[in-house]
Structure 1
Amino acid sequence: MMSRRRLGFGALAVVLAAGALLLWTPTRQLLFGTAQAPRTVVVSGNIEAHQSVLSFTNVQAPIIDLPFDEGKSVAAGTVLARVDDGFYRQQLQIDLAALDVARQQIAVSQSNLAAAQNTVLSDRLDLAEKKRDLERDAQQLKVGAVSRQTYDQALTAAGQSAAALSRDQALVKVAVNNVGLAEASLKDAEAKVGLDRVTLSYTTLKAPFSGVLAVRQAELGELAGPGVAIFTLDDLDHVWLRAYLNEQDMGRVRLGEPASVTTDTYPGHVYHGRIGFIASQAEFTPKTVETHAERVTLVYRIRIDIDNPTHELLPGMPAQAEIALLRAGK
């Protein structure tokens, strides 16, 4: 009898415990929610940076100054190299002399124009006088006060004065054209001098942006010219990680999303980046991946922009990034 009673108490305790568990579980979920670890994806790739191969433009001469070697950090505008500029300075002096001649030619042409205009003014005064003489002689001829010969001489003088005026007016037009030609020659000379100054500036090679000289491809005395590489300049302040994202994860990442970047070179150091680019078209995994199964997988190229003020991250360095995946439907 006692055994049955104990067995009953035991069964009742089991039922009560099960009920309490059933009641506690929904209450806990209601209060705290279902525990779910955030999902992340890890992508691998290589660090890249903007690289610019620097060379001289529109000049060809021996290198006479090359003050920096590889690995040197330089600011934008720093002089990296110079070539012998003697020929280009001489050309500038020649064109400056031609510019001075063009300016003097304008002064001469303007003086000739002023003289021609004054001559026309004198011709008009002379013609007016000759016309008055002719009119007076014509009146006196009617009353017999002057001879026919005197009248004819006055008529000829008036005609000659009119012809002289026409000739000098034509010379004024010529002088005006000469001034125009002189002004055009001056503009041409000024343009040549301006081009000479620009060309002369090309004999100095300056850094177009702040960065690190990754490669030096020239030496003193070598002949530099268009297309002949002198330096390769890397912008290490702003680098990025080129990586690839699997097709199934594409819908769960967004532009601007943060990413944690790490490298084997600096273990434990986390670099903060953001997704700056996601390709719009899929491609096969790059051939650098070893297994064929992974190479035939469709992936999307992404770029993770990383600030690199200490220049620890260098182009070509392997790195990996951890990206938190968004929940489905977001």
Structure 2
Amino acid sequence: MKRFIIYGAIPLLAASCGGDGDFDATGTFEATEIVVSAEAAGRILRFDAEEGDVLRAGRQVGAIDTVQLYLQKLQLERQRASVRSGRPDIGKQAASLREQIAKQQTERRRVENLLKDGAATTKQLDDIDAQLKVLGGQLDALLSTLENNAVSIDENSSAIELQIAQVEDRLAKCRIASPVTGTVLAKYAEAGELASVGRPLMKVADLDRIYLRAYFTSDQLADLRLGQEVTVTADFGGERQLDYPGRIVWIASESEFTPKTIQTRNSRAGLVYAAKIAVENDGRLKIGLYGEVKL
């Protein structure tokens, strides 16, 4: 009877010792998670995102109250219009002097011809030249004044346009949108609540780009390189496991103590190196799922 017990225990011991696992490292799946926070303060008028929704990058899913900002923008636009209305029309305001100069130039040519024929005096020509000089000085002064006024008005208008641009930027920040295409993992606010700048509104992650963070011992580093193709086995519980092709995209430059939840080929190793392995998600891989790596 004792002999039977001893022989019967041998397969069980072999099975338990065989649990060393045909893998080189283990870890858990993770994704790049982004917490979307409010960029403006005010009441949340609309927030249509729900946990599990897949959002496109830049698609608006909510809005924070913008009434005061919109009214401020309208006020600035009216101010800009008022400032621009005072801009002088240089061409029209200088037209009268230019017309007088043109008449005097015509008169000068007439007197000059008469002077050649002896029908006019040199004084008459000198008087016209003096008048032309006076009119030219008046035109230069007028143009300088008008141009300075126009530049001043344009500068004031540009300053108001910058203020309008600032308000438009603040209005854009009242839109709630995901900066990346991804799935809503958590929602922290609802419509009707008050938002403050920096308050978290939702957490989003791109689950199509998922990674296995695995840990390797120092003696395995020689077998690791960026871009290396490996086999990743996802453990769905029980005996359900699926293999996925993976690619090493990051290897830590510094070691760390082995996390308690992680197994390595050498479980006695105190220091390990983290590595991220990119895996194409077929929709079954989830954040936190256990996985194994075979080099």
Shorter-normalised TM range: 0.7 to 0.9
Of 305, 323, 327, 2:294 maps to 323
Report Cα offsets for 1:40-74 as digits up to 9, x if no partner: 533121211111111232x2211111223333333
Aligned-partner residue type, residue 96 of structure 1: E
- Larger Rg computed on CA atoms: 1
Of 265, 274, 291, 1:301 maps to 274
Of 45, 51, 55, 1:64 maps to 45
* Gap regions ≥5 residues in structure 2: 1-20
Residue equivalent to 1:119: 97
Q: Distance in 1 between matches of 2:131 and 2:232?
A: 100
* Gap regions ≥5 residues in structure 1: 1-38, 143-150, 325-330
What CA RMSD, in Å, does the superposition of the two structures yield over aligned residues? 3.5
Residue equivalent to 1:238: 209
Residue equivalent to 1:198: 169
Query: Could you say which structure has the higher strand fraction?
Result: 2
Shift of the 190–290 alpha-carbon distance from structure 1 to 2, 3 Å rule, reads closer
Q: Is the 8 A contact 1:262 1:270 kept in 2?
A: yes
Aligned pairs for 1:247-286 (under 5 A) are: 247-254=218-225, 255-265=227-237, 267-279=239-251, 281-286=253-258
SS at match of 1:251: helix
Q: Distance in 1 between matches of 2:282 and 2:172?
A: 32
Aligned pairs for 1:1-330 (under 5 A) are: 41-57=23-39, 59-106=40-87, 109=88, 111-123=89-101, 125-126=103-104, 129=107, 159=130, 162-254=133-225, 255-265=227-237, 267-279=239-251, 281-288=253-260, 297-310=270-283, 312-317=284-289, 319-324=290-295
Report Cα offsets for 1:114-143 as digits up to 9, x if no partner: 32244134135337747976996xx8999x
Shift of the 119–65 alpha-carbon distance from structure 1 to 2, 3 Å rule, reads same
Q: Is the 8 A contact 2:231 2:293 kept in 1?
A: yes
Q: Distance in 1 between matches of 2:44 and 2:251?
A: 43
Q: Distance in 2 between matches of 1:141 and 1:221?
A: 91
Report Cα offsets for 1:67-99 as digits up to 9, x if no partner: 233333333333332111101211221222233
TM-score, length-scaled by structure 2:
0.75
Q: Distance in 2 between matches of 1:161 and 1:229?
A: 74
Q: Post-superposition shift, 1:294? A: 5.2
Q: Is the 8 A contact 1:63 1:223 kept in 2?
A: yes
Aligned-partner residue type, residue 144 of structure 2: K
Question: How many equivalent residue pairs?
Answer: 268
Q: Is the 8 A contact 1:286 1:295 kept in 2?
A: no
TM-score, length-scaled by structure 1:
0.68
Q: Is the 8 A contact 2:97 2:135 kept in 1?
A: no
Q: Post-superposition shift, 1:196? A: 3.0
Aligned-partner residue type, residue 220 of structure 2: D
SS at match of 1:270: strand
Shift of the 266–121 alpha-carbon distance from structure 1 to 2, 3 Å rule, reads farther
Query: Could you say which structure has the higher helix fraction?
Result: 1
Q: Is the 8 A contact 2:37 2:197 kept in 1?
A: yes
Q: Distance in 1 between matches of 2:120 and 2:234?
A: 119
SS at match of 2:241: coil
Shift of the 43–290 alpha-carbon distance from structure 1 to 2, 3 Å rule, reads closer
Q: Distance in 1 between matches of 2:151 and 2:261?
A: 72
What stretches of structure 1 move > 4 A for 4+ residues in a row?
Answer: 130-136, 139-142, 153-161, 293-296
Aligned-partner residue type, residue 71 of structure 2: Q
Shift of the 299–315 alpha-carbon distance from structure 1 to 2, 3 Å rule, reads same
